[in-house]
Structure 1
């Protein structure tokens, strides 16, 4: 089967930046939505998907309207659920617990939150369901890292080496299969 372009776009800046926003449904800024739309010029996408959370969905709606494409909402592209920490500033979380989480988020998930392996499993399932056509997914930093892990085999330490600021565009060349594989084609902050 032929390869296809998969573009992962992190949502734009939220109205309240600096928080651990997993399931917290914070609104994006107008500038954040505009920054996302600007990243999509010339991608030649045929399919548009977004997380169901407003900070991704609103950008997806603006992009879909500009490109004349329907937006498919898929909650599997949500951010990691930070449980009891969700919506908190990272400085408000006990530093030792937060450090253990960043070092090994599967063994040390946030209290009441989601394990890294659960995020990887749901993102992997979403990837497996993709039609092999040029696709843009408006999502979150954690889901983008989970996709890199699933498609390229990057380990946890390597994943944190990727700087994924708001409105960052990660382009991949994906080869469908069991399991699918990919090559990083570009990262545009």
Structure 2
């Protein structure tokens, strides 16, 4: 069976950058949306899916409008829930617990937050239900890293070596089957 293209686009810059935005529903800037629309303009896709948070859903709606395509909202594509840290600047969080979290987000999740393995489970479920056709997913940096781990086998500690600025576009070729696998085609930021 042949592969299908899966494009992962990180949402545009939020109005208040520099915060740990997990479940906090921060709006994207107009410029951030425009940059994402430009990134997606050259893609040949049949489906657009987005996280339900407005920094993704508004971005996806603008892309869909530019292409005269409907967008689908799927909350499983949300960012990791940072719990008590959500919406705060990393510089305001005690260094020791924040460092433990970055070193092992499964063993040391944020207070009242989500474990890395829980995010992997929901992203894995969303991936398993993807139709075998060219798809653009407008999502978050953590969700993109989860896809790289699940489809490409990149170990969690190495995932933070990927620079995923706002508006970054990652294209994969996904081979269906169990388990699904992928090959990175390109990263454009």
- Structure 1 residues not aligned, in runs of 5+: none
Aligned residues: 189
Quote the residue 1:77 is aligned against: 77
Task: Deviation per CA, 1:57-109: give whole Å up to 9, x if none.
Answer: 00000000111111000000000000000000000110111111111100010
Aligned-residue offset at 1:131: 0.4
SS at match of 1:133: coil
Counterpart Cα distance in 2 of 1:99 and 1:173? 34
Counterpart Cα distance in 2 of 1:69 and 1:129? 20
SS at match of 1:149: helix
Quote the residue 1:152 is aligned against: 152
Counterpart Cα distance in 1 of 2:102 and 2:188? 24
Quote the residue 1:57 is aligned against: 57
TM superposition score normalised by structure 1 = 0.99
RMSD (Å), alpha carbons: 0.5
- Structure 2 residues not aligned, in runs of 5+: none
TM superposition score normalised by structure 2 = 0.99
Aligned-residue offset at 1:122: 0.4
Q: Flag as ranges the 4+ runs of structure 1 deviating above 2 A.
A: none
Task: Deviation per CA, 1:148-170: give whole Å up to 9, x if none.
Answer: 00100111121011000000001
Quote the residue 2:39 is aligned against: 39
Quote the residue 2:176 is aligned against: 176
